[in-house]
Structures are given as C-alpha cells and as structure tokens.
Amino acid sequence: MNMADKKVYTVPFMRKLKSRTDYGKRLTLLKSRKLRLVVRKSNKHILAQLIKYGDKGDIVLKSAHSKELAKLGWNMSCGNLPAAYLVGLMIGKKAKGQEAILDLGLQGTQSGSLLYAVLKGAVDAGLKIPYDDQVIPEEGRLSGSHISDYAKKLKDSKKDEFEKLFSGYLNNKKDPEKIKDYFDKTKAKILS
C-alpha cells in the first residue's frame, strides 16, 4: 500500500476538539447575517455582548456585564434572575432598535433560565430579537419575588439557614425580602 491509497485525515479545529465551539451551529447563526446577542454566564456573573461577524474575526459592538450593576446601586448577587434581566436591559438600551439573533453557544438551556431572562431584558429595552414566549421566565421571577418569598419563609421557620443562605445580602445591609424594591430602583436607573 502506497501513500496515495491511504485516506486523508483532517485534524479538527482545536476549539472543536476542546468542545468550545459547535461550528455547525455557529455557521447557521452566521448565515442569518444578523448581529448576535451572545450571552454567557459564570457562577457569579453574566455577560451579554452584541457581536458582528468580521472576516478577520468577530467584532464586539456593545457589551454589558453584571459587574456594571454595582455602579447603579445593585450590590447583591450578580448571578441570579433579576441581575440577568437587568444585564439584558443594559445591553438592550445600548443597542436599542437593532435586530439580532440569540447565541447561547454550548450552554445547556432550559425554559425560564437566566439566559432567557437576559433575552427578555434586551427585548424590553428595545433590541429586536425573535423568541418564543414559552421560554421566558415568569414576570414575578424576573423581579425577584421568588427570592423574597423564600427569604420570608426561611426567616420565620429556620433562622440559621436564612442567615447562611442570605449572608451576602445581610453583609451588604440589604434585606432579601425587599429585593423587588432594589430591582425596581436599578431598573429605573438603567432606563433613565
């Protein structure tokens, strides 16, 4: 058997080997020729970017990070549903009126997740993105009512567990039962 009879082996891209990029999904998104609202989350933060494809690489046009919420008075968790919605509002306000498509990458998705909370915030602020209403979290969850309800329940029954779970709020002298008030104030600052 000589070299000409052997099958050619193509080495896959490094990002594909390390499971960082699904090139089939990326190509489908790029074929839409729309801007992409890229949403990424970590354990403590949320990042939303409006990205345009360029021949020499993607170009970030606008960006919003949950760390920016501290400048607006939000000194609570930056990795929960209300924070995700507020990040969506920030990116939506910065890119108001533009059309985009949602890019969640390789992240696992579930209806009502914080990834879709970012989408809802961006749409509410004026970014035009097609979506299905069934994936959006309930209105009360977006404003943090589920957090305040749980805090009330724990405070009355299990004081030790309450102090452990909500220590971040308590250390910042914030009442987790009033998260909706803090949410409304921060939302008003973003939209003003």
In whole angstroms, give the CA distance from residue 137 to residue 130.
16
Higher pLDDT, 74 or 108: 74
pLDDT given for residue 31 in this prediction: 81
Mean confidence (pLDDT) of the chain: 89
Q: Which CATH code for domain 27-191? A: 3.30.420.100
What are the residues facing 102 on neighbouring strands?
37
Tens of pLDDT, residue by residue over 4-23, are: 566 777 777 777 767 677 77
21-35, 101-115, 139-153: lowest mean pLDDT where? 21-35
Higher pLDDT, 179 or 7: 179
Place 173 in a pLDDT band, splitting at 50, 70 and 90: confident
- The percentage of the chain sitting over the pLDDT mark of 70, rounded to a whole number, equals 95
- Domain ranges (residues) in the chain: 27-191
User: Which residue from 53, 8, 16 is spatially nearest to 34, judged by alpha carbons?
Assistant: 53
Helix or strand run (H / E) with residue 65: strand 59-65
Report the predicted TM-score, pTM, of the whole model to 2 decimal places.
Answer: 0.85
> 110 or 17: whose pLDDT is higher?
110
User: What digits encode the pLDDT tens for the residues 30-62?
Assistant: 788 899 999 999 999 999 999 999 889 889 999
Half-sphere exposure of 118 (CA within 13 A, CB side): 29
Cα distances (angstroms) measured from residue 102 to each of 56, 117, 132 = 22, 12, 12
One-letter identity of residue 155: K
- Position of tokens 């009512």? 145
**Residue 6: other Cβ atoms inside 10 A:** 8
Angle CA 71–167–114, to nearest 5: 60
